[in-house]
Structure 1
Amino acid sequence: MNDIIRIDQNARRSRAVVHAGTVYLAGQVADDKAASIAEQTRQALAKVDDMLARAGTDKSRLLSAQIWLSTMDDFDGMNAIWDAWVVPGKTPTRCCGKVELADPALRVEIVVTAAV
């Protein structure tokens, strides 16, 4: 039987859940809501790196990514940071779309799934 491990859990959510060799991350966002799209993307990806490490894995084991932008005008700026961050030859499946984020000051939210 595979146990379910919940990381950074509260009454509403877990920031990561590990089950059957896979880690599922909640959406990661920047702390500095006034930052540029590049900086917000860097901060969100740093949180992804941290949560993956806490789950015992890293970005080289990404399976899937969902990237949510508040405006598609930020697509190129986000991609410049994403492309430098992702491991060449180990890119996940990915989708990116415009959504209304929970806080209007947020410009990007990133959700990933990875193998442990």
Structure 2
Amino acid sequence: MSKILRTNPGPILSTAVEYHGFVFTAGLVARNLELDMEGQTRDVLDQIDTLLEQHGTDNTRLLQAQIWVKDIKDREILNTLWKAWLPENLAPARACVQAVLADPRVLVEIMLITTK
């Protein structure tokens, strides 16, 4: 039986789950919810970099991204930072939708599936 590795397991979620060379992240939000869209997006991408590194992978191995934004009008800010963060020609399959998020101060949440 293959081992399942859980990062920061809690009562309702783990920050990431690794299985058979795949890494599935939880939806990540900014640590400081007082930041604007640019600040929150940068923080989430920094968290993703750290989390992927912990699992021996990086943003060159992304397979799928699910992104939720509080206001779809902020998508352009997100996309500008996202494009700068992604290696050229290595964009994952992606969805980006407007959503009511768990805390009204959350402006963006990103969840990934990647491989090692």
TM-score under structure 2 length normalisation: 0.96
Q: Distance in 2 between matches of 1:20 and 1:13?
A: 19
Shift, 1:36, TM fit = 1.4
Q: CA RMSD in A?
A: 0.8
Q: Deviations over 1:57-83 (max 9, x none)?
A: 111000000110001010101111111
Q: Counterpart amino acid of 1:77?
A: I
Q: Which residue of 2 aligns with 1:8?
A: 8
* Aligned counterparts of 1:40 and 1:21: Cα–Cα separation in 2: 29
- 1:34 equivalent to 2:34? Answer yes
Identity across the alignment (%): 37
In the alignment, structure 2 segments of 5+ residues that lack a partner are none
Gaps of 5+ in 1: none
Stretches of 4+ moved more than 2 A in 1? Answer: none
Task: Work out whether 1:92 is the aligned partner of 2:110.
Answer: no
Could you state the TM-score of these two structures normalised by the residue count of structure 1?
A: 0.96
